[in-house]
Amino acid sequence: MKKIIIKKSKINNKGIFANEDIRKGETICLLRGEEKTIKQLKKDYLNEEFRINDPLQISKNKYLLLKKTLCLFKSLL
């Protein structure tokens, strides 16, 4: 059985949902991108290098600019 499934969502048409229990610390998604600080993001944004909603916050002061392949879900491969 797959750990996660894609199905209809009330929020944004489609969503990803747990299909069975997921252990704490278990990897279910790998993200690829360039890690940047908020200072770097502000500079890039002022130079119009990306949209404001592009970066994903990964820690208090770090963000990830996602590449075209957004997620590789281990349980879907």
In the chain, domain spans = 25-76
Higher pLDDT, residue 75 or 52? 52
| Candidate from 4-13, 14-23, 41-50, 68-77 with smallest mean pLDDT | 68-77
Model pLDDT for residues 12-30, shown as the tens digit of each residue: 788 888 888 888 888 777 7
Q: Write b or e for each residue in 13-42: b if 16 or more Cβ atoms lie within 10 A of its Cβ, otherwise e.
A: eeeeeeeeeeeeeeeeeeeebeebeeeebe
Average pLDDT, the chain: 77
Q: Is the pLDDT of residue 55 over 60?
A: yes
Q: Using a cut of 0.85, tell me whether the model's pTM lies above it.
A: no
Whether 70 has a pLDDT exceeding 80, the answer reads no
